[in-house]
Structure 1
Amino acid sequence: NADLAKLLKLPVILVVDATGITRGVAPLVKGYQVFDTDVHIAGVVLNKIAGDRHESKLIQAIEHYTDIPVLGAIRRSTELIIDERHLGLMPANETPESQKFIDTAAKHIADQVDLDRLIGINQKTIESPAPIINNTTSSITVAVAKDSAFGFYYQDDLDAFDSLGVDLVYFDTLTDDQLPEADALFIGGGFPEMQLEALSANQSLLTDIKAKIQAGLPTYAECGGLMYLSRQITHQGKSHKLVGVIEADTLMTPKPIGRGYVQLAPTGNHPWSGVSKQISAHEFHYSKLENIDPKTHYAYEVLRGVGVDNKRDGILTHNLLATYSHLRNVGSNHWVEQFVNFIKDIKKTT
């Protein structure tokens, strides 16, 4: 992203798809170089090269018409193809051999790109914000759904739980018949629509989750997690019953409903304390909720984005908060700490 490179004052390595071009690569690369002089194009990596002759012509053209170094040329290979579907690439949690692919890709790149030269282009380091360190034990356990249906979690957010002394216990929505012993539940994003038969067939877990949420288990769910907690998901004309603690039905759509950055403002109904007056988040979903109970309460007003109904997001029921928006534990929005404090408050009263 050019704007991000400008913001961080970092050099850019331009990866060029060289399919079907030779001399034409020069005006392409030159155009990127002069279009915005605040973006420093420090090198080029050529991708999908047909062979030695193709590579030679490309390098000659770039070196003749520009002063940008070619750092490597990666040959076209079926070993480097990643499957795609409606929301983009296939996630690693659905691809058992993902590590094998990563190792194969790493070997191709190591053999065909001058990594020492590439790394040497920029020695600038950017310090990440210091993590919140809390060495005390909170005696809080959170059950986290993590399997081939649910896998969209920011590692920094999971680390934030750890820094607060929270014990994360992972479970599998496809195979486990009940939740692990825990003080709270976190179901992140994913592709539940790709595992509908298995999810719906696991009736014992669905019943257990519904009963525990209705009994007051503090729960946070995002996007795929929200869909899983609805009454049913309809995908390609087939409906499968799911948890049903959210009084709404999920319908998969052929086109994206919400895609991009979101701005949220908490309503007076938000159950967590210390929530920022305005929250930046992200949404990306090819689904929508239908037949929503008109008595539903919401945690957020949507200032920008779609959310549940173009106006609101964050369905509230019992001690559950379920959103289409994906929160990020950064800046002024330390949602992990807010959620943990909410869990502690509930635990004190039970």
Structure 2
Amino acid sequence: MPASVLTCPRILVAGLGGGSGKTIVSLGLARAFTEHGLSVQAFKKGPDYIDAKWLSLASRSDTTNLDPFLLSSDALRNLFWSRARGADLALLEGNRGLYDGKDVEGSCSSAELAKLLNCPVIVVADCTKVTRTMAAIILGLTAFDPLVDIRGVVLNRTAGCRHQNILRDSIEKYTDVKVLGILPKLAENPIPERHMGLISDAEHERDPFAAIAGCLRDNADLDACLAIARSAPAFHGELASLYPTASAGKSVRIGVARDAALWFYYQENFEALRHAGAELVEFSLLEDSAVPDVDAVYMGGGFPETLAQGLAANAAMRESVRGLVHAGMPFYAECGGLMYLSRELLYGGVCYPMSGVFPLTTKVFEKPQGHGYMSSVVSAPNPFYVGSTRLTGHEFHYSRCIDIENVSSFVFKVERGQGMAKGCDGVLFRNCLAGYTHMHALGNPSWAGNFAAAARVYRDARLAGHLCPDIRL
């Protein structure tokens, strides 16, 4: 594509660490500016699905994840500008602390993303039991990497007027960073948390955004925040197509299991499948009695454990899934999808029957069994990846397969991460591949085309009245 000059007001909301309050501030800004009539395009730094979903609701836009580990710098830049152009404001929520990355150099940190996108930064600081020391912390943030454009700070969880005055006066005396807001301690978290972070919107009955936006309007300078966003420089350069390869072959129908049990999906994965020639057909493992008339199925992650009773009660769907897998229909499943495809799920002392595709029992524990980035090498033939392909992804699961000895071989050799067993992930039966790895299509560009091609093999075999063969790349 030709060189472009693109502009979009933008800010990145970062924290001193996890739990600083950056999500509440991001949600409040997103809803407040949206209610003011601005078109807000929200982004979530990192692989998190749950915060991204809340940002989508707050901004009334589809939030895009930007992750420097899953995607190259060029892909990140292309993805950001493809979504941001035309918006009145691009609002990015960071993750963890501003400079926290995967190594001592801070690789993949929110700070590195801010530099890549020339994005001004607003820091959210938890001020519990801190006064003048906060000025030293803010001064340290600005000195640590002068290329990070820290323009303001929102002071969170402040105790009262005296506490607030000392904080503001100290920061303004010793630093050049503007205090943009001073938030009081909230009586309760408007979005409660549980073992995987914030609970999902599907399980939260009331709309919390009016109160959050009101808190920001009452206690922060929104005009100053917007002025900082509008000071972000234009982008000069070339943008490549997100999906450069042309789709091959006739269109196919790929079912997407999407409901309150499974809903962890990246929009770009859907777009990549559509670009590869797939029509996506959503269905529910909880409400529908059978998989619809499709040529393949995609199962993402989610919270199957909290809805295990409903999944187990829908015996017709479990039988439909099992029968189609045995017939050779391609299935691709991530984390929660693996749990559903297993024989049974143990949660809270109760054993729930699942679809029984794999002879595995997944048990949910109180602590994470795998959490972080993953990198793997494809070590066995399968329908979705060519052998020796390097696969990037992430995992966050409290469940574990407790009878892994029933698996004779794995598809992925894990070099970073936990997976299903130390150093292994991905189980295969017929054309059904399931594991704990969550994958982003823009970081693994062959996936969508191979998925659609496998669906065509199944469709053609079915139309010819033949049993679909095992598809192996």
For residues 88 and 25 of structure 1, the distance between their equivalents in structure 2, rounded to whole angstroms, comes to 26
* Residue number in structure 2 paired with 1:5: 111
For residues 106 and 123 of structure 1, the distance between their equivalents in structure 2, rounded to whole angstroms, comes to 27
Of the three residues 109, 119, 141, the one matched with 1:32 is 141
**Which one scores higher on RCO, CA 8 angstroms, separation ≥ 6?**
2
Three-state SS of the structure 1 residue aligned to 2:274 is helix
* Residue number in structure 1 paired with 2:281: 169
Q: Tell me the CA shift for residue 311 of structure 1.
A: 2.4
For residues 458 and 445 of structure 2, the distance between their equivalents in structure 1, rounded to whole angstroms, comes to 21
Quick check: 2:360–2:403 contact (8 Å CA) kept in 1?
yes
Three-state SS of the structure 2 residue aligned to 1:298 is coil
Three-state SS of the structure 2 residue aligned to 1:330 is helix
Q: Please say which of residues 294-303 and 174-183 is displaced more in the overlay.
A: 294-303
1:65 and 2:174 matched: yes
Map 1:1-350; keep pairs closer than 5 Å: 1-2=98-99, 3-6=109-112, 8=116, 9-78=118-187, 81-97=190-206, 100-111=207-218, 112-114=220-222, 115-125=225-235, 129-132=240-243, 138-272=250-384, 274=386, 277-292=389-404, 294=406, 296-350=408-462
Q: Tell me the CA shift for residue 153 of structure 1.
A: 0.4
Three-state SS of the structure 2 residue aligned to 1:192 is coil
Which one-letter code corresponds to 1:320 in the other structure?
Answer: C
Q: Tell me the CA shift for residue 256 of structure 1.
A: 1.3
For residues 349 and 411 of structure 2, the distance between their equivalents in structure 1, rounded to whole angstroms, comes to 31
For residues 174 and 152 of structure 1, the distance between their equivalents in structure 2, rounded to whole angstroms, comes to 16
For residues 70 and 341 of structure 1, the distance between their equivalents in structure 2, rounded to whole angstroms, comes to 54
Q: Tell me the CA shift for residue 334 of structure 1.
A: 3.4
Quick check: 1:14–1:44 contact (8 Å CA) kept in 2?
yes
| Distance change in 2, residues 1:139/1:333 (3 Å) | closer
For residues 43 and 214 of structure 1, the distance between their equivalents in structure 2, rounded to whole angstroms, comes to 57
Which one-letter code corresponds to 1:22 in the other structure?
Answer: T
For residues 262 and 86 of structure 1, the distance between their equivalents in structure 2, rounded to whole angstroms, comes to 20
Unaligned runs of 5+ in 2: 1-97, 100-108, 463-473
Q: Tell me the CA shift for residue 342 of structure 1.
A: 1.6
Which one-letter code corresponds to 1:94 in the other structure?
Answer: E
Q: Tell me the CA shift for residue 233 of structure 1.
A: 0.7
Which one-letter code corresponds to 1:108 in the other structure?
Answer: C
| Distance change in 2, residues 1:289/1:332 (3 Å) | closer
Q: How many residue pairs get matched?
A: 348
Three-state SS of the structure 1 residue aligned to 2:317 is helix
For residues 305 and 134 of structure 2, the distance between their equivalents in structure 1, rounded to whole angstroms, comes to 41
**Structure 1, residues 156-202: CA drift from partner, whole Å, max 9, x if none?**
11122222332211112222111121111111001111111111111
For residues 111 and 430 of structure 2, the distance between their equivalents in structure 1, rounded to whole angstroms, comes to 44
Quick check: 2:383–2:451 contact (8 Å CA) kept in 1?
no
| Distance change in 2, residues 1:129/1:146 (3 Å) | farther
TM value normalised by structure 1: 0.90
Q: Please say which of residues 170-179 and 273-282 is displaced more in the overlay.
A: 273-282
| Distance change in 2, residues 1:103/1:121 (3 Å) | farther
For residues 370 and 403 of structure 2, the distance between their equivalents in structure 1, rounded to whole angstroms, comes to 18
Q: Tell me the CA shift for residue 35 of structure 1.
A: 3.1
Three-state SS of the structure 2 residue aligned to 1:194 is coil
- Percent of pairs with identical residues: 35
Three-state SS of the structure 1 residue aligned to 2:308 is helix
| Distance change in 2, residues 1:116/1:4 (3 Å) | closer
| Distance change in 2, residues 1:136/1:73 (3 Å) | farther
For residues 268 and 225 of structure 1, the distance between their equivalents in structure 2, rounded to whole angstroms, comes to 20
For residues 276 and 337 of structure 1, the distance between their equivalents in structure 2, rounded to whole angstroms, comes to 17
Quick check: 2:154–2:181 contact (8 Å CA) kept in 1?
yes
TM value normalised by structure 2: 0.68
Quick check: 1:247–1:293 contact (8 Å CA) kept in 2?
no
For residues 125 and 48 of structure 1, the distance between their equivalents in structure 2, rounded to whole angstroms, comes to 36
C-alpha RMSD of the superposition: 2.5
Quick check: 2:301–2:336 contact (8 Å CA) kept in 1?
yes
For residues 149 and 86 of structure 1, the distance between their equivalents in structure 2, rounded to whole angstroms, comes to 15
Three-state SS of the structure 1 residue aligned to 2:255 is strand
Q: Tell me the CA shift for residue 282 of structure 1.
A: 0.6
Unaligned runs of 5+ in 1: none
For residues 207 and 332 of structure 1, the distance between their equivalents in structure 2, rounded to whole angstroms, comes to 32
For residues 11 and 238 of structure 1, the distance between their equivalents in structure 2, rounded to whole angstroms, comes to 49
**Structure 1, residues 204-249: CA drift from partner, whole Å, max 9, x if none?**
1111111111111110000010011101111122111111111111
Q: Tell me the CA shift for residue 124 of structure 1.
A: 4.2
Which one-letter code corresponds to 2:212 in the other structure?
Answer: A
Which one-letter code corresponds to 2:363 in the other structure?
Answer: L
